[in-house]
Structure 1
């Protein structure tokens, strides 16, 4: 009987991958953005939580109740893009400490990954983490260099006290790659296209076990430099104050009061071209009241921002200063008719400080000279329906509409020098991008689901529609209208074998591009023609993963990326790797 169930499960996994592969959209995962921290402690708590109840001794003895996100049991391999986001299926919901794994694959792909921790006296835990990945790139597609390597080295400390827990981590990250996406010129193979980004982070987090008054304190700092002498320093501190589970009546209505206080400072200096410089100092206050009864609740709040911004460049050497106060509404309600049907809606808004380091996470092919502005979401209305059907099917569907100022997206750069020569810097082949801004409205529809047909099988899928109506630009560049994903995780043979599937999809994207030609006889300069309605094309990227535990301390794994072998483009000119297969071994100790 068990064998029949296993065979049916495998068939279901294959059928699911085929069926969902017809969805040309990418999955939306709430809070999908991944901060590259070695140890990030997230307390799973919402404003409607009625009882926190973390006894110190019980908490210290069972630290797993804190969701400590380290390196998963299967490493965060890179996706099939040379520099893209991680898409490898994660087989386990918990992290795995004290292991080392190494793997090799085609395209010269090499992976080394490990994590080690040790609990000392007085419940003090110390550890280290390493992650290295490199590839030779697309040698058959480009005459010039397209290889890339990345490395993350970190150390962390966790201490469990009587009243709370403290986490401190330090991390060094290195991204070493090339501006290889040249489409309008034909340079020689020895052209230097190198870019290198170094970033050092130090973060601290103190979390009290109770919600009485001071709830938690977070401190973050970051120091970034690149190959072209750009420098960015960033620091922030956030304190959350709260008083939860205040009884208001005998019929079960309780009140939670929260107050967030934050300070953030960013200073960015570029040494190329216009030599842009930006300094931001932002203070925010976020009061919030929540009235709850069971799973139904009403939250009322606001966010106040006090921003001091200063910008300058070689055209405007005197700083342009801007001091402004913002107010944003925050409100949400949920009516829980049952576990299967929970209707919710609300309004929110906020101020986002755009930093060079964060922009590079989205598009590493930016020229090292950016005009940085904050993005303001004036308001965003949303409404949706979510539920849990028999603990087998979970879903969340919502739609929203908002008004934004300084919406940030990426525009392709022209040549910076029109001189008719190929002896030029690596960023000056019409192969880089810059952040541009516009005001407008945004409409979004998103949905996600999880399905648990068997105890050892999980299927999930998501889709998002995102439409911008801009004031000045006819189209928003490099943002797909539809994105989606589908995934599955399956374990068998008494959890010795773990299988995973992940497909990501995106619709066509509009971008701008340039056609270059020489002027004169002989040619003395380049003349460019801009196409503001070029297409990058959509894509479907299929990924499979497997791990087999031969011994409790030894296992082998394999990962297949972009198995449809489509050399689609992430940005115009930047093709991704084709079908990739990587295999290796893991030792747990």
Structure 2
């Protein structure tokens, strides 16, 4: 066994050194995203007991961190946090929280990161961070502007008391980019395609150390405005009440009781095209009880939502809708041994679709959306997970659900049929709108983490998702299969950290348009444009390979190189929106 491990280490070292040599030879780049690190093994959020009964001093050693990550999982041309995941190197357990990072790369990339925090008296921790990423875009692919800039400035405060911990953080984000994905017309080089989104967030969180009565309270707020005067205000409050570890006689079974109470309000107003306006107020109640013995448990609960919704636009008067929803919630786990844990359950819920959420998923969404919530009536699932000798962790599951108002994106045609290229930034068949349909969804997913060596971690994920819709033959802009594989390897006495991430996706169906000019005597110049729709166009799949390396020259100084999309494929995530090609970025990082 030891010889196999040594052989694996030598092979990986050779591959890592070859990859690092390739980084120096390629024309590298980074397309960076600010996103919390994604954990590979998904854990279902239930009322299963969470270990929280430890002394405040011990808990304060693991404070909530608000850090900046360095590289996206998918080197999307857009620099916003879309499906972001950190694949940059991290020296776990040795890195300091305070740092400044600067890098430059091809495509005119400029990266600036900074994070600083300080612990004051009475266990108060204050901190701030800043992130800036700018790119000149795909000048060789488009005659018109495709440059983009994203910036985020944040500050936070952590406090650790005798009974619980408190956090508040504020963040301002700016996204300045262009609707550059034009395929049906050929505009002038100086056409204005600008879109700019400003968003300000304030969040607060209080977590009690024990699970007695009031468990935790969370408050979130968001204020958004874009270049076309769309405005959205959002606030939510969630309180979790609980009573855990109640012994039921001498059976060895413990009872956990939980009640979640949530309020959420969203108001969105658009100022162009149809001038949609929406106002949602939603109240949630989620009572549940859990019977637990060892690692086996049974959870029974329900979800209740009380929604007040208002929608209007220039084509219709205000429509009001008051509705009460009920959703089943149950989950069980049978754990004879830690290596094999069989689980299953059913859940459901109501999701308010906001303009901010739409922009995170698709920044090229039109600044005029008809918003409505998505209802998951029920979702059944079964799975198997386990931990084998603390070397292999796995989780495989399959599910089936029924949904109402599934939200996805369709491409927009021209809004102005006049025969001219002097038109608004969003009026080149280059934007998308949310559409909704009812249907069923089937999903199969799996994730694996493998730890063959103390300094080597290998992980992989795959997800298959199939939609059967009521009105549409295919769901637009959603791949059937997503997969990823990654590795992190530390060497040279933990001074060199190498990372690899491969992202794979199957092709997607979308609608698209061809534009033709036709004679019209009533038009000012005798011609108008006509949009012809193709409802079965394809956006090809992709394989996106990413490499990262960081070398510690000194405990407070390191150099790094990041490579994204190294297969040189300028694939598309949405029709006509090419991502950057092979990207290399190099820089320095100072910790203090």
TM-score normalised by length of structure 1:
0.92
- CA displacement at 1:8 relative to structure 2: 3.2
Contact 1:228 1:271 (8 Å CA) reproduced: yes
Residue 153 of structure 1 corresponds to: 153
CA distance in 2, matches of 1:196, 1:36: 24
CA distance in 2, matches of 1:50, 1:484: 30
Residue 182 of structure 2 corresponds to: 182
Residue 86 of structure 1 corresponds to: 84
Residue 367 of structure 1 corresponds to: 366
Contact 2:260 2:287 (8 Å CA) reproduced: yes
CA distance in 2, matches of 1:501, 1:51: 33
1:582 aligns with 2:585: yes
Counterpart among 546, 549, 557 of residue 549 in structure 2 = 546
Any idea what the Cα deviations from partners look like across 1:382-438, whole Å, max 9, x if unmatched?
Answer: 000111111111111100000000000000000000000000001000000000000
CA distance in 2, matches of 1:530, 1:305: 38
CA distance in 2, matches of 1:206, 1:328: 27
Any idea what the Cα deviations from partners look like across 1:462-506, whole Å, max 9, x if unmatched?
Answer: 111100000001110000011100000110111110000001010
Residue 25 of structure 1 corresponds to: none
- CA displacement at 1:82 relative to structure 2: 1.2
1:222 aligns with 2:222: yes
Residue 313 of structure 1 corresponds to: 313
CA distance in 2, matches of 1:413, 1:5: 51
Please tell me the root mean square deviation across aligned C-alpha atoms, in Å.
2.3
* Unaligned stretches of 5+ residues in structure 2: 20-32, 38-42
- CA displacement at 1:524 relative to structure 2: 1.2
- CA displacement at 1:254 relative to structure 2: 0.4
- Comparing 86-95 and 513-522, the one that deviates more: 86-95
CA distance in 2, matches of 1:15, 1:462: 25
Residue 236 of structure 2 corresponds to: 236
- CA displacement at 1:13 relative to structure 2: 6.5
SS of equivalent to 2:65: strand
1:432 aligns with 2:431: yes
Any idea what the Cα deviations from partners look like across 1:291-342, whole Å, max 9, x if unmatched?
Answer: 00011000000010000000000011x3100000000000000001211110
Residue 26 of structure 2 corresponds to: none
Residue 48 of structure 2 corresponds to: 48
Contact 1:276 1:369 (8 Å CA) reproduced: yes
Residue 388 of structure 1 corresponds to: 387
Residue 353 of structure 1 corresponds to: 352
Q: 1:578 to 1:34 in 2, by over 3 A?
A: closer
Residue 29 of structure 1 corresponds to: none
Any idea what the Cα deviations from partners look like across 1:233-267, whole Å, max 9, x if unmatched?
Answer: 00000000001111113242101111000000000
- CA displacement at 1:151 relative to structure 2: 0.4
Residue 474 of structure 2 corresponds to: 475
CA distance in 2, matches of 1:208, 1:35: 26
Contact 1:173 1:198 (8 Å CA) reproduced: yes
- CA displacement at 1:67 relative to structure 2: 4.7
CA distance in 2, matches of 1:335, 1:303: 24
Residue 396 of structure 2 corresponds to: 397
Q: 1:337 to 1:297 in 2, by over 3 A?
A: same
1:566 aligns with 2:569: yes
SS of equivalent to 2:359: helix
CA distance in 1, matches of 2:572, 2:374: 27
May I ask how many residue pairs the two structures share in their alignment?
A: 563
Counterpart among 525, 529, 533 of residue 530 in structure 1 = 533
- CA displacement at 1:520 relative to structure 2: 1.6
Any idea what the Cα deviations from partners look like across 1:332-388, whole Å, max 9, x if unmatched?
Answer: 000012111100000000000000001100000011000000000000000001111
SS of equivalent to 2:337: coil
Counterpart among 68, 71, 87 of residue 71 in structure 1 = 68
Contact 2:46 2:299 (8 Å CA) reproduced: no
Contact 2:88 2:562 (8 Å CA) reproduced: no
CA distance in 2, matches of 1:192, 1:552: 47
Matches within 5 A, 1:411-426: 411-426=410-425
Q: 1:11 to 1:253 in 2, by over 3 A?
A: farther
- CA displacement at 1:44 relative to structure 2: 12
1:493 aligns with 2:492: yes
SS of equivalent to 2:122: helix
CA distance in 1, matches of 2:211, 2:45: 10
Contact 1:367 1:434 (8 Å CA) reproduced: yes
SS of equivalent to 1:68: coil
Contact 1:50 1:245 (8 Å CA) reproduced: no
CA distance in 1, matches of 2:379, 2:399: 7
* Unaligned stretches of 5+ residues in structure 1: 17-32, 38-42
Q: 1:333 to 1:120 in 2, by over 3 A?
A: same
Residue 466 of structure 1 corresponds to: 465
CA distance in 2, matches of 1:344, 1:546: 39
Residue 333 of structure 2 corresponds to: 334
Residue 25 of structure 2 corresponds to: none
CA distance in 1, matches of 2:144, 2:285: 51
Q: 1:286 to 1:13 in 2, by over 3 A?
A: farther
SS of equivalent to 2:567: coil
Residue 21 of structure 1 corresponds to: none
Contact 1:238 1:262 (8 Å CA) reproduced: yes
Residue 291 of structure 2 corresponds to: 291
CA distance in 1, matches of 2:16, 2:472: 43
1:139 aligns with 2:139: yes
CA distance in 1, matches of 2:59, 2:497: 31
- CA displacement at 1:71 relative to structure 2: 2.5
